[in-house]
Structure 1
Amino acid sequence: MNPLILLMLMLSLMMGTLMTFISTNWLLIWIGLEINTMAIIPLMIYKQHPRAVEAATKYFLTQATASALLLFAGVSNAWLVGQWEMTEMVNQTSATLATFALALKIGLAPMHFWLPEVLQGITLTTGLILTTWQKLAPFAILLQLHHALNPNLLTILGLTSILVGGWGGLNQTHLRKILAYSSIAHLGWMVSILHYMPNLTLLNLMVYIILTTSMFIMFIHTNSTKINTLAPLMMKLPLMSTIMLTSLLSLGGLPPLTGFMPKWLILQELTKQNMMLTATIMALATLLSLFFYLRLCYAVSLTISPNLTLSPTSWQAPPTKSNLLLAILTMMTIMLLPLTPLILTLTM
């Protein structure tokens, strides 16, 4: 792709998200979301492949439906209130429509069917943008509307997403689909606590972006798209395989890694809200996600022994270039749990 076109698309992507961040008018929010959607579609299809075209078409239709539903929610609220301001969302029907529209936009279950298929058809780099940056604008709207949203609806969507995300990733062999179902499960945790403590939703979103970015960078670095491509990593890149192992365990939420922090805080807050049954179901549903993370850990570290064998194996790949971003993200993936009191002080 032409560097100038790529620069224009990336600037448009950032401008659409920032416009959504700073706007309180429903019309400007809708415009920002549309700019964001239109900017990423050329990035999906810059490699001319039928799967990429199919993924871009599915993404466009889904996002167009969600944007139309969100605009309808804003128009119906403005019809009753007389203002286009987001803070004046007092009509419960409009708030419910906006909730479903944003759930469709980010891929919450049961509106999640497009996310694994779209992520499977695009490159790893574009998938990184889709699973991290593209979540920011819808969550900025949800965080501003958290007081007006129905907590029971959010809890149902969150529980459904956690269950579907864990169950759907069990029989997958493609890494992009596994990360898609992982995204669905993590989004369920964020939405479940949104009404009661939006700061925890923001903290969970930040941790999720750090963990997912580190995983995508490692998959891009090793050019891995299926589980069976992870098997030779211990022979070729032993340090990378160790980092990937710890990152996967952190993504699964095992202590004492960073991924345990948001789950711990969310379960604690749900218990304070006397939602013991919801917290129990969420904690048990996490075991489903943990299973396919451990399956990836098995493929990375235990499938092929690092000892010398007589069978023809690949030589260790020499370090080609330093990756400072991966080093920083790996440290954050592993070592942020002891800093939980400081992080709570800064975010609460």
Structure 2
Amino acid sequence: MNSYIPYNFMFLLLTMLGTIFSISSSHWIGVWAGLEINLLGFIPMLVYGGTTLEVESGVKYFIIQSMGSGILLTGSLLISITALSWANFGSLLSTNYLSSHLYQSETNLYGILVLISLLIKVGLTPFHFWLPSVMSGLSWLSVLLLASWQKIAPLILILMVVSKYSSMLMACCAAASVVGGIGGLNQTQLRSLMAYSSINHLGWMVAGSIYNVASMVIYFAIYFLISVFLFYYLWIKEKSQTRQLSTSSFRSTNEKLVFSTLILSLGGLPPLLGFVGKWLILTELFNIEPLILMFLILGSLISLFYYLLLFFSYFFSNNSKITEMSMKNYTSMTVSMYFIVASISMNFSGPIMILWLPSLIL
């Protein structure tokens, strides 16, 4: 995406305002309105280029999000009819609206519709089917926004219902981790690969939020930070296929080191920064949900396998050797030294974070 197009800032601001309005609302009608504002701001950024793939991905995203909004509005309307209030679950559970057993059973049933709509919007298994297809046709900046900022509102809204449907969410998290790992094995497009990686990470985030919200926030912050560096790097290198990683686009050992640390950190290889979030959630679920944790670890190991395949496909490629003359001709496209130092320093701060974060959370 060309960030210098003037109207991009306006639509980006509208997207952010919609998210903030949604998560700060105490009524479901406000939540729905905020999500719609967010959608109206994000769609133009998806299709601004006018290419066939971008338009196709934008239409798919619009249809899926509209379906999720419709289910959310239906579920919240049924809850309001039953409880005589538009208040969201955070407010309902602290009042006497649900004192009747009949109201409790009906509200729980309607709450499942609300939960399904949020799972559709965020792309958590078993409603993940749209995410790889949409991401495969977008620009790298749109992929970054879809994988990070667009998850904030649904994740925070899921926290409102996590206490009522923790068992269901745990099953979805375990399935998401495995699906995200297996789905990325045979991918040849980097954007689709990152989509399945996002599904895998999403399973860890939601699983961590069930017992400790702070761990989910830390995990999301780490995932967002690594994604910014990685997607920016792939953006300036103009990479879209995994086979392109074995060509002579990595012009120096420093660039190889940057990409290797980013890709392995995103896969959660210890002791890099990406392992810190997994380590926090692992210590919390070890005694509480060992079975679910086993599936989470399994999916993470599978995803780390295809990250290692990417690593070996370019790091030991014979095509990456170039002459000094071609290196001089490429100086305008090389990554700045500031980016290299910041990226490597960030990823190798994992051991420090592991020692410091437990005292911060506790």
Alignment correspondent of 2:24: 22
> Could you give the per-residue CA deviations for residues 192-231 of structure 1, whole angstroms, max 9, x where no partner exists?
2322222222221111111222210110121111112222
Alignment correspondent of 1:180: 195
Does the 8 A contact of 1:167 with 1:289 survive in 2? yes
The partner residue of 1:201 within 195, 206, 216 is 216
Q: Note the C-alpha offset of 1:295.
A: 1.1
Cα separation, partners in 2 of 1:109 and 1:56, compared to 1, 3 Å: same
User: CA–CA distance in 2 between the matches of 1:139 and 1:227?
Assistant: 30
The partner residue of 1:262 within 268, 274, 277 is 277
1:281-292 aligned at under 5 Å gives the runs: 281-292=295-306
Say which SS state the counterpart of residue 332 (structure 1) adopts: helix
Alignment correspondent of 2:236: 221
The partner residue of 2:311 within 286, 290, 297 is 297
Say which SS state the counterpart of residue 121 (structure 1) adopts: coil
Structure 1 counterpart of 2:57, which letter?
Answer: A
Alignment correspondent of 2:102: none
User: CA–CA distance in 1 between the matches of 2:344 and 2:81?
Assistant: 49
Alignment correspondent of 2:157: 141
1:17-96 aligned at under 5 Å gives the runs: 17-86=19-88, 87=90, 88=92, 91-96=107-112
- Percent of aligned positions with the same letter in both sequences? 31
Q: Note the C-alpha offset of 1:307.
A: 5.1
Say which SS state the counterpart of residue 286 (structure 2) adopts: helix
Structure 2 counterpart of 1:213, which letter?
Answer: V
Cα separation, partners in 2 of 1:18 and 1:328, compared to 1, 3 Å: farther
Q: Note the C-alpha offset of 1:341.
A: 4.4
Does the 8 A contact of 2:246 with 2:317 survive in 1? yes
Structure 2 counterpart of 1:93, which letter?
Answer: L
Equivalenced residues, count: 344
Does the 8 A contact of 2:237 with 2:249 survive in 1? no
5+ residue gaps in structure 2? 99-106
TM-score, with normalisation over the residues of structure 1?
Answer: 0.91
Q: Note the C-alpha offset of 1:330.
A: 4.6
User: CA–CA distance in 1 between the matches of 2:210 and 2:134?
Assistant: 29
User: CA–CA distance in 2 between the matches of 1:16 and 1:207?
Assistant: 23
RMSD: 2.4
The partner residue of 1:130 within 130, 146, 152 is 146
Corresponding position: 1:155 with 2:170: yes
5+ residue gaps in structure 1? none
Does the 8 A contact of 2:275 with 2:350 survive in 1? no
Does the 8 A contact of 2:162 with 2:169 survive in 1? no
TM-score, with normalisation over the residues of structure 2?
Answer: 0.87
Cα separation, partners in 2 of 1:144 and 1:260, compared to 1, 3 Å: same
The partner residue of 1:166 within 181, 188, 196 is 181
Alignment correspondent of 1:315: 327
User: CA–CA distance in 2 between the matches of 1:195 and 1:32?
Assistant: 24
User: CA–CA distance in 1 between the matches of 2:231 and 2:343?
Assistant: 11
Deviates more, 1:331-340 or 1:12-21: 331-340
Q: Note the C-alpha offset of 1:11.
A: 1.3
The partner residue of 2:345 within 326, 331, 334 is 331
